[in-house]
Amino acid sequence: MLLGDITFQTPSKPIVAVDTSLYNLSTEEAAFFKAQTGIDDDEDLKKHILEVQAKAYEVAPYPCIHNFIFLRLNLSRISVYEHILKLGRERPDALLLDIGCCFGIDARKAAADGFPAKNIIASDILNEFLQLSHELFKTTPAAYPGCFLPGDVFDPAFLSIAAPSDDVSPLPAIDLSLLKSLNPLHGRISAINAISFFHLFNEEKQLHVAKALAGLLSAQPGSVICGYQVGNPEKGMVNTSIAGSIHQLFVHSPNTWTSLWDGEVFEKGSVKVETELVEAAIREVQYFMMKWSVVRL
């Protein structure tokens, strides 16, 4: 089967069963989900999360759902997170986009930490994930102030490629509840979170998405795009294995990722790119993850 451009290579068993033994929450994550859901008991919280995870895995069996990586508070662990929260506090009408958000957990965390929820857009190609976000967090579309926007980033009717804006003049506020696509937000977004997103696609599509997101970013200095994805010391195809299911994906190195943003997507020298390659493991499987940020100067 195919999820994005990730190919699963086990014809006899293309989708591995959910392994509930992989469930774990750090102290910080447990406190966050308890505060957000109102479920104080650890076992009750686990039961609730497992129920939502099972539904999500039927929708799309992504490795991050199988391995409970979707529960990680990844955005808050990237070095520019406090900068993003500061933009939300201090920049008038600052907007935060959580793209490929799955359940929008990073968007919910940012809102809990002070970025105005009414100025946060969480977007995923699968509307079922956005609906499951409400089930996971025990909210309703009518009561939750954030914007959930389903759509395909490769559909130009939803997100067309526009040149990065160089206009730093203030723009009038926009009513996010009226959005049908991301296109009205060209040049408006202060911060874009793209965690566990780029590595879903091949090299050509990663460049396409980078250009599309760059067109959304505000020209104001300090506007930022950041992410956390599978990486490697050398760019190319890598194989990872999850419970016997092998999948291949294209990944960038820190050097090629930096040159893509600084010189290909944005004009050379107009952005500051930071990358950090860290070793990770799921049981016996070793791989690299890359934290990164692109800040307009």
Q: Please give the structure tokens belonging to residue 289.
A: 């993850």
Which secondary-structure segment (H or E) carries 170? none
- Three-state DSSP class for residue 213: helix
Number of neighbours of residue 257 by Cβ within 10 angstroms: 24
Tell whether the model's pLDDT for residue 247 goes beyond 90: no
Please measure the distance between the N-terminal and C-terminal CA atoms of the chain and give it in whole angstroms. Answer: 42
d(CA 216, CA 153): 12
| Nearest by Cα to 224 from 74, 86, 42 | 86
Q: What average pLDDT does this structure show over 277-287?
A: 76
Residue-level length of the chain = 297
Beta bridge partners of 285: 282
Report the pLDDT value the prediction gives residue 208, as an integer from 0 to 100: 98
- At 150, the pLDDT band (50, 70, 90 cuts) reads very high
Instruction: Find, among 125, 123, 77, 118, the residue nearest to 95 by Cα.
Output: 118
Average pLDDT over residues 282-293: 82
- Using DSSP's 3-state secondary structure scheme, residue 7 falls into strand
Mean pLDDT of the chain: 91
* Average pLDDT of span 102-113: 97
User: What confidence tier does 280 reach under pLDDT thresholds 50, 70, 90?
Assistant: confident
Residue with tokens 């799309």: 60
**Residue carrying the six token digits 């940020």:** 293
| Euclidean distance between CA atoms 248 and 43, whole angstroms | 35
Please check the confidence at residue 16 and state whether its pLDDT lies above 90.
Answer: no
**Strand, coil or helix: 194:** strand
Nearest to 185 by CA among 149, 217, 153, 220: 217
In the chain the domains, ranked by start, together with CATH numbers, are 73-296 (3.40.50.150)
- What is the model's pTM? 0.93
Mean pLDDT confidence for 137-145: 94
Cα separation of 222 and 297, whole Å? 6
